[in-house]
């Protein structure tokens, strides 16, 4: 399945950005109202963005409710709002309980059947068994026809990467392909590490999302190793943090990322001053 080449990143809405606090405050002021965010998303699609990379949040749902059109989403799952991290125990089990309580009846039934199939892993709390259940329940809450891809969130992907939980990655790819029939990938703060490990495990997602920029900012384990991994391993990369936290202009960051073999780019709302104008230029280039 083909991953998109130009995506509007909206991860800064969830605080997932290395932009300065001033930029984040400015972005929040622009997008706080559902109508304002809705207009921004709509204009981004008209300007050539193939999808929006975003965690399904109350803020997003309110914005989508304002629109009369479909906005293709690469849904970052599972979702955990920042304040929930303060209140909930870590791990997937609390998220699964929450997702079950919010999912429509049909999804809960499907989830229960899936649980039966995966009972040993679910009882052990194996993330490889819990993650598909979470994806099932959370995608069921998205408006029909809007799911254009699934990205496993960096919090989950990087934890499994650190422990070497290869099965989680394989199961996630397999489940999303079978159940959702959309591209699937992994968001990561450790792009070079992720690519090499996935390659070593023989896992081939449709994309991996991570920082690529001329300053090497956020490129782990370091910039040279990350670039080598991108160039050698053939796993499509969608580049984020293109402005290196404000060190470079967006156009320079995109040029750099594309020249080093990334498949696509995902400039974030926080890095865009003129969302439709800048996206249109990137779509042409």
Partner 1 sequence: MTAPSDSSSDSSPRASASIPCRVAVAGLGSSGIAHALAIATLERAAVTALADPRSAARRNAAGMGFRVPSFADLDRLLARQEVDAVFVCSPVGTRVPLARRALEAGAAVFVERPIAIEFAEVAALVEEANRRGVRFMCSHPLVHQPVFARAAAEVAAGKLGAVRQARASVQASRVFSARAASHVTHGRGGGVVAHTALDLIFLLSRMLGLPTEGSATAIRLYGEHEDEVHARLKLASGGEIRFDCSWSVPGYPVPGTVIELEGERGHLLVSDDAVEIDGPAGAHARWINADLPQPARFDIDGESRWLEDSAFVDWVLGGPAPPGAGREALHAHAVLHALDASIRSGGEPAPVPSATPAAIAPEPAGVAS
- Give how far Cα 112 sits from Cα of 47, 137, 151, 179, 263, Å: 41, 10, 23, 15, 37
Q: From edge to edge, which strands make up the β-sheet containing 51-54? A: 7-9, 51-54, 73-77, 147-152, 184-187, 207-211, 237-240, 264-265
Examine residue 128 and say whether the peptide bond preceding it is cis (omega within 30 degrees of 0).
Answer: no
For residues 144-203, which are near partner 1 according to CB under 8 A? 158-160, 162-170, 173-174, 189-190, 193, 200-203
Of the candidates 142, 204, 228, 261, which one interacts with partner 1 according to CB under 8 A?
Answer: 204
For residues 1-40, which are near partner 1 according to CB under 8 A? 15, 18, 20-22, 25
Residues 6+ positions from 138 with CB-CB distance below 8 Å: 56, 75, 77, 78, 79, 99, 103
Of the candidates 247, 258, 260, 280, which one interacts with partner 1 according to CB under 8 A?
Answer: 247
Q: According to the binding rule CB under 8 A, does residue 125 interact with partner 1?
A: yes
Q: According to the binding rule CB under 8 A, does residue 269 interact with partner 1?
A: no
Work out how close the CB of 48 gets to partner 1 at its nearest, in angstroms, rounded to a whole number.
27
Is the CB of 38 or the CB of 79 nearer to partner 1?
Answer: 79
Work out how close the CB of 223 gets to partner 1 at its nearest, in angstroms, rounded to a whole number.
9
Work out how close the CB of 226 gets to partner 1 at its nearest, in angstroms, rounded to a whole number.
11
Is the CB of 138 or the CB of 241 nearer to partner 1?
Answer: 241
> For residue 42, what are its two tokens?
């709509």
Q: According to the binding rule CB under 8 A, does residue 51 interact with partner 1?
A: no
Q: According to the binding rule CB under 8 A, does residue 217 interact with partner 1?
A: yes
C-beta neighbour count of 192 within 10 angstroms: 23
- Give how far Cα 213 sits from Cα of 3, 18, 74, 216, 221, Å: 20, 12, 22, 5, 14
Distance, in Å, from the CA atom of 114 to the CA atom of 260, rounded to the nearest integer, reads 41
Interface positions with partner 1 (CB under 8 A): 15, 18, 20-22, 25, 82-83, 85-87, 89-93, 124-127, 130, 158-160, 162-170, 173-174, 189-190, 193, 200-204, 213, 215-218, 220-222, 244-247
């Amino acid at each position: 399945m083909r991953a998109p080449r130009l995506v509007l990143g909206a991860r800064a809405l969830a605080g997932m950005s290395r932009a300065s606090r001033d930029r984040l405050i400015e972005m929040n002021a622009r997008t706080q109202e559902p109508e304002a965010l809705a207009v921004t998303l709509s204009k981004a699609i008209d300007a050539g963005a193939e999808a929006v990379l975003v965690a399904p949040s109350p803020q997003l749902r309110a914005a989508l409710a304002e629109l009369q059109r479909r906005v293709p989403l690469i849904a970052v799952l599972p979702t955990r709002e920042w304040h929930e991290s303060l209140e909930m125990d870590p791990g997937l089990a609390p998220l699964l309980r929450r997702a079950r309580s919010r999912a429509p009846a049909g999804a809960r039934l499907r989830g229960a059947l899936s649980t039966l199939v995966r009972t040993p892993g679910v009882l052990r709390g194996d993330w490889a068994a819990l993650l598909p259940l979470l994806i099932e329940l959370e995608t069921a809450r998205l408006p029909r026809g809007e799911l254009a891809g699934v990205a496993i969130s960096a919090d989950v992907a990087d934890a499994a990467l650190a422990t070497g939980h290869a099965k989680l990655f394989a199961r996630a790819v397999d489940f999303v392909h079978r159940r959702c029939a959309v591209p699937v990938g992994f968001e990561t703060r450790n792009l070079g590490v992720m690519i090499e490990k996935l390659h070593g495990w023989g896992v081939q997602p449709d994309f991996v999302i991570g920082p690529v920029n001329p300053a090497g900012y956020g490129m782990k384990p370091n910039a040279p190793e990350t670039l080598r991994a991108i160039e050698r391993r053939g796993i499509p990369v969608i580049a984020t943090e293109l402005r290196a936290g404000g060190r470079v202009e967006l156009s320079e960051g995109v040029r750099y990322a594309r020249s080093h073999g990334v498949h696509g780019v995902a400039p974030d709302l926080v890095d865009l001053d003129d969302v439709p104008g800048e996206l249109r230029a990137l779509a042409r280039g």
